[in-house]
Amino acid sequence: MDLSALNEQQRAAVRHTEGPLLLLAGAGSGKTRVITSRIAFLLQDRGVPSQAILAVTFTNKAAREMRERVEGIVGRKQAKGMVISTFHALCVRILKEDIEQLGYKKNFSIYGGADQLRLIRDLLQEVNTGLRKFDADRVLWLISDAKNRLIPPDRFAPTHGDEYGPVVATIYPRYQRALKAFNAVDFDDLIMLTVRLLQDKPAVLEKYRQRFRYLMVDEYQDTNAAQYRLLRLLAEGHRNLCVVGDDDQSIYGWRGADLGNILDFEKDFPGTMVIRLEQNYRSTGNILTAANAVIRNNLKRKIKALWTADGPGDKIDYLLCEDDEDEARVVVERIMAERFKARLSYRDFAILFRTNVQSRAFEEQLRYQDVPYVLIGGQQFFDRKEVKDVLAYFRVLLNPRDEVNLLRILNTPKRGIGDTSADRLIRFSAEHDIPLWQVLKNPAEVEGLGDKVMESIATFVDLMQNFRRRFRVGQLSDTGRELLQELRFEDDLLRTAQDPDKARRRMANVAEVINAMASYEQREVQPTLEGFLDKVSLLDRDEPPRQDKDAKLQRDAVVLMSLHSSKGLEFPCVFLVGMEDELLPHKKSKGANSNIEEERRLCYVGITRAQKKLTLLGAARRKKFGVMQLRSPSCFLEEIPDEVLHSAASDAPTATTEEEKDQLANNAFADIKAMLDF
């Protein structure tokens, strides 16, 4: 295989195929190219069977692109059989084969966020006899955090001083029992149960160790305790584990990512070869100098420094604006001027911010100037109510024991089975320990149900049984469309919506579910309803769906997004806004449990998104709850060398009252301003 297009470090990484390898890949250093070249090298030059190769990443998009690149090098025939997937897709694959050894059936349901919350709320209502109402989201988050740390219900211990701890200790075991009774798992269970399966069943573990003899993991700095344990179980023995990541871009600690996984890799796997990819192919020299200068202040990191063979490029602009509205005005004016001067497209510009609430002023100013823009983020397609209602029908058709979704569709669209009747059905089911679906098949045994209600229940049961048979023999998309027509789903949306435009958007979303099902049918050799629902459940929860995010990024429009969402992307011109203390670094990073290093990594990620031109902005005053408050420039600005930074003020205000002077003195604004030659 010809490796002449790779640099020396990249070639070394490709050729090191036996034993543990830690590939420290800096921003813009071509890591995806190295990973795909390494897989191709294993196939072509080392003669490794494709079935022995496992590559794991965090998003469906990354896995898809990786597979396409490998196929482009070696061809589809030679690549066939290798597994390139997300962690959760890999675990679904393993559980579908062997979950029966844990007491589940193979046709288990995968609960998403809304299904989980509904179950948690029901459990909270059962156990809460006091006046205090607990937040179901908080309870679910704590359960999820426990699962990501591989803490089962019987070992969960409340944190001292956390008022939610005792509640979670009560709800968590009930939640797990309910899931198992419904033959369902949640997203976190996919990994936790797989780890349990591999730990408790040596024969299963040995089977997968023998199958996957070459492991590669992308974005290793983002792995949590459960993912780490899964990888270690699979890799122990042959130890052919290559992990690729950048500790300087570890920005997901708030959702369980453990920076120690990458920092301690050499301790966990003695004899590790460490290769640093430091040559950057994205940014100019001045941008990299600023990024290196900021990140070197972190103590918990592997030593490395990005460099480029290209020139220094433009200096980095820093603008101190009058307030948040002025900040937005300056950014939009600069976009319009730079677009004209450099003949750039709107999509060449990105506005990056620490918190989503910052987008409002920029959206208003962009609209005022008639500049097209896209806001990355917001509610995902498969989380929308009408979409979840349709999917709930499909899930119950596949698994009638899925009572959360069964209750969701029982009176959707409305068929005369109100809350009172539903409550009687649920109580009868619980008191007699009979699955709710069986109760619905014999509603006459439930006291207090009227004739019309029982007739509606019978019609509903007949419809579900009829379509369960039809889905087994017919085309999925055609059968799905027929189900919606029989339910008069779109008529119900029109009838119940107060806004006709909103009703039409919701109708389009329902239609898009069938489109997604049709696309799935075209891609798969043997499409099944179960397979379609598995694909839907595995859509990345923490990134906008492909049809949303990717389509938006292709439009000729300015991109607005949070720093967390920007990771992995690049733009010719970047505006990193809100460079102020309490925004970047965020106020939550201060105090006893300070996490200033993760905030610095966020700043580093923002800086390294820029290819040619980087502009940093902050406001001297900013509204908070409608009141204008003075702000202090970000402490990270102090860490950028003077020789790469060009500073200017945008008609910034000066303190005129004694009160304002005191505030400026207290937050050290004047000292930082003088240091930056404002």
Distance, in Å, from the CA atom of 545 to the CA atom of 611, rounded to the nearest integer, reads: 25
Across the chain, mean pLDDT equals: 87
Asked which of 158, 182, 206 is the last residue of a domain, the reply is: 182
Which residues are within 8 A (CB) of 544 and not within 5 positions of it... i.e. 6 or more apart?
Answer: 376, 377, 378, 380, 552, 565
Residues 189-240 have pLDDT tens digits of 999 999 999 999 999 999 999 999 999 999 999 999 999 999 999 999 899 9
Which tens digit of pLDDT belongs to each residue from 493-524?
877 765 666 777 788 788 888 888 887 887 78
- The predicted pLDDT at position 57 comes to 92
Does residue 286 fall inside a structural domain?
A: no
Candidates 263, 345, 261; CA nearest to 572 is 345
Domain match, 590 and 456 both: no
636 burial type by CB count under 10 A (0-12 exposed, 13-18 middle, 19+ buried): buried
Pairwise CA distance, residues 537 & 607, whole Å:
34
Pair 453, 512 in one domain: yes
Q: Is the model's pLDDT at 294 over the cut of 50?
A: yes
368 has pLDDT over 80: yes
For the chain, give the percent of residues with pLDDT over 70: 90
- Could you report the per-residue pLDDT of 386-440, keeping only the tens digit for each? 889 999 999 999 999 999 999 999 999 988 898 899 989 999 998 888 999 999 9
> Is 377 a member of any domain?
no
CA 69 to chain centre: 23
508 is in an annotated binding site: no
State pTM to two decimals: 0.81
Tokens 């005369």 correspond to: 416
What are the strands, taking DSSP E only, across 553-654?
A: 558-562, 571-576, 610-619, 621-624, 627-630, 645-650
The enclosing H or E element of 389 equals helix 385-398
Would you say residue 293 lies in a domain? Answer: no
Q: How confident is the model at residue 542 (pLDDT cuts 50, 70, 90)?
A: very low
Residue 543 has pLDDT above 50, yes or no: no
Q: Are residues 397 and 432 in the same domain?
A: yes
Last residue of a domain, one of 487, 506, 538: 538
Cα–Cα distance for residue pair 301/468, rounded to 1 Å: 55
Confirm whether residue 28 is marked as ligand binding.
yes
Query: Domain for residue 463, yes or no?
Result: yes
The 10 Å CB-count burial string (b at 16+, else e) for 202-228 is: eebbeebbeebbbbbbbbbbbbbbbbb
- How many domains does the structure of the chain reveal? 4
- Residue 548 forms part of a structural domain: no
pLDDT at position 108 is 93
The answer on 237 and 95 residing in a single domain is: yes
Q: Are residues 208 and 94 in the same domain?
A: yes
Token pair 């809460």 is at which residue? 128
Q: Same domain, yes or no, for 80 and 197?
A: yes
Asked if the structure places residue 299 within a domain, the reply is no
Return the higher-pLDDT residue of 598 and 661.
Answer: 598
Q: Are residues 132 and 49 in the same domain?
A: no
19 annotated ligand binder? no
Last residue of a domain, one of 151, 182, 213: 182
What does the alpha-carbon distance between residue 530 and residue 92 come to, in Å, rounded to a whole number?
Answer: 12
673 among annotated binding-site residues: no
Query: What band does 364 get if pLDDT is binned at 50, 70 and 90?
Result: confident
* CATH at residue 148: 1.10.10.160
Domain of 598: which CATH number? 3.40.50.300
**Contact between 225 and 148 (Cβ < 8 Å):** yes
Report, as residue numbers or ranges, the catalytic residues. 31-32, 218-219, 249, 609
Task: Check pLDDT > 60 for residue 279.
Answer: yes
**Range(s) of the domain holding residue 478:** 383-538
> Model confidence over 79-98: pLDDT tens digits?
999 999 999 999 999 999 99
For residues 93 and 85, the answer to whether their CB atoms sit within 8 Å is: yes
Structure tokens at 111: 């609960």
Number of neighbouring beta carbons within 10 Å of residue 267: 9
* Same domain, yes or no: 74 and 206: yes
534 and 400 assigned to the same domain: yes
Determine the pLDDT at residue 497: 64
User: Does residue 471 sit in the same domain as residue 489?
Assistant: yes
Q: For residue 188, give both structure tokens.
A: 């976190």
Give the model's pLDDT for residue 6: 94
- Tell me if 26 is assigned to a ligand binding site: yes
Which run of H or of E encompasses 453? Answer: helix 451-473
316 shares its domain with 333: yes
If asked whether residues 270 and 323 sit together in one domain, one would say: no
Whether 657 maps to a domain, the answer reads no
Tell me the β-bridge partners of 216: 55, 242
Residue 492, domain member (yes or no): yes
Measure Cα distances from 389 to 409, 421, 539 in Å: 7, 20, 17
